[in-house]
Amino acid sequence: MSPNRPSTTGLGQELIDTGQKPGLSSIESAELAATRRRIAELETELATARRSIELLKSVAA
Q: How does pLDDT run across 35-45, given as a tens digit for each residue? A: 999 999 999 99
More reliable by pLDDT, 7 or 50: 50
**pTM listed for this prediction:** 0.71
Spatial contact of 7 and 1, defined as CB atoms under 8 Å apart: yes
Q: How far apart, in Å, are the Cα atoms of 26 and each of 1, 2, 23, 31, 35?
A: 23, 23, 9, 9, 14
Q: Quick one: average pLDDT of 15-27?
A: 95
Which region, left, alpha or beta, applies to residue 22 given φ > 0 means left and ψ of -120 to 50 means alpha? beta
Whether 6 has a pLDDT exceeding 80, the answer reads: no
> pLDDT at position 1, please?
47
